[in-house]
Amino acid sequence: MTTSPVYRGINPATGEINCEQPFIETAQIGAIINASQEAFASWRDLDITARAAKVDRIAQLFEEHVDELAQIMTREMGKPLAEAQEETNFCAEIFRYYATHGPRLAADEQASEDESSFSIIQRRPVGPLLGIMPWNFPYYQVARFAAPNLVLGNTILLKHAESCPETALAIQKIMDQAGIPSGVYQNIFATHEQVSEIIAHPTVQGISLTGSERAGSAIAEQAGRHLKKAVLELGGSDPYVILSTTDITQAVEQALAVRMENTGQACNSNKRMIVMDDIYEDFVAEMVKQVSNLEPGDPSAGDPNTYAPMSSAGAADLIIDQIERAERAGATIHTGGARANRPGYYVQPTVVTGIPQGSDIYYEEFFGPVVSIYKVSSDEHALQLANDTQYGLGSAVFAAEPGRAEKLAENLDAGMVGINRSPEESAEAPFGGVKRSGYGRELGPVGMDEFVNKRLLTKQK
């Protein structure tokens, strides 16, 4: 159900409304989709190198407007300004990667040949696509969906999060300035009910969603009913396994830096830290020390040792509820666990241990600044705990001994694995998961292989 009569951008640091945009009229949907289909007819006929040149111009504009775009993100969803600038630059890298490599990645591929004929696999666009994007990485999520598909020749209908109207408008402005033809990329301020109508429309050929498990289930059901291809990037409860370390302080600093990125609001964040028993007590004590030193701060100021607000009042309320339920289930709250005493949607970074395995809260995703730590007694125990989740997005294993982390990592049920580091995040590296973290991949070479007709063409010699 729609939670607001308009798209509404609220500054999480202050609670002030920045931007409001009305939903589209349902009567407009047909015209919007028709415009996408009409644009597809000419966009796909444009040589792929010409499409790539326009996508490269998008990359240039992200670079040229990095400060302006980052400030929009910071005031709309509370991302620390330095992280917002980093995300904006990452978008430029993604668009440039596909502008540079897309023509090669979409090139024909020989399948077979004999004395009388040969066959090739052609990669051809499929038509209008619907993207349903979240608020937590509001530029990056759009870039990884839009960039390969624009190069391929597909057209885009983009439904952004209802809390990100200013971000959505900024992306549309960049597309227009880059010379993307009318109808090829259309931002639509749609309700959930209107999204369902768009999915059902026979012209729309596929849907990409990044969001919650609940949203993914709903979209997958609708896509399946209408026989539409879908790519889903959903939640995660990523294990971060520390089997051994030569430096507890550094190990904690590294783990905390990953956990606090975007104030813990990342699908592939290290939400479960699994630590060997011989270093567990020291690890927890050092984590409590470092977390206790963090203070709430203005996300636009970039002050060290500060944390930013949650993205919304609802997100803050949810994480507090989860912390309280974890404590009721028998967990120990070492520090934090409450709202910060200041305006905005600030939640104190929280260290939790002892969440009982098998409890309801144990299987939930903590989408906020909660450091959850588990003690294990063996590598086998660590692997069992790491895989005891309905999710399977990212993971990481650390060990000082050669080969030890690799051995455990080999059996992790995850779409991405890091050994003595977090998994790579780059335009070249595929992103996606298994189990209830969704299906399909974005970025890298395989990012161009989701919404494409891999057409077989056979010719007589």
Q: Any idea which residues carry the catalytic annotation?
A: 233, 267
- What is the C-alpha separation between 25 and 27, in angstroms, rounded? 5
Q: Could you please report the per-residue DSSP string of 309-342? A: PPSSHHHHHHHHHHHHHHHHTT-EEEE--SB-SS
Nearest in space to 55 (alpha carbons), one of 147, 188, 181, 163? 147
Rounded Cα–Cα distance for residues 430 and 418 (Å) = 13
The rounded distance, in Å, linking the Cα atoms of 451 and 458 is: 22
CA angle 266, 283, 81 (to 5 degrees): 35
175, 58 contact by CB (below 8 A)? yes
Q: CB atoms < 10 A from the CB of 26, how many?
A: 12
DSSP label of 214: H
Q: What is the 3-state secondary structure (H, E, C) of 241-283?
A: EECCCCCHHHHHHHHHHHHHHHHHCCCCCCCEEEEEHHHHHHH
Helix 81-105 crosses helix 66-77 at what angle (to 10 degrees)? 120
Q: What is the DSSP secondary structure assignment for residue 435, as one 8-state letter?
A: G
In sequence order, the 6+-apart residues with CB closer than 8 A to the CB of 394 are 236, 238, 268, 414, 415, 416, 417, 418, 422, 423, 433
Q: Which helix (H) or strand (E) holds 457?
A: strand 452-460
Structure tokens at 328: 């009721």
Query: What is the CB neighbour count within 10 angstroms for residue 192?
Result: 14
Question: What one-character-per-residue DSSP string does 12-81 give?
Answer: TTT--EEEEEEPPPGGGHHHHHHHHHHHHHHHTTS-HHHHHHHHHHHHHHHHHTHHHHHHHHHHHH---H
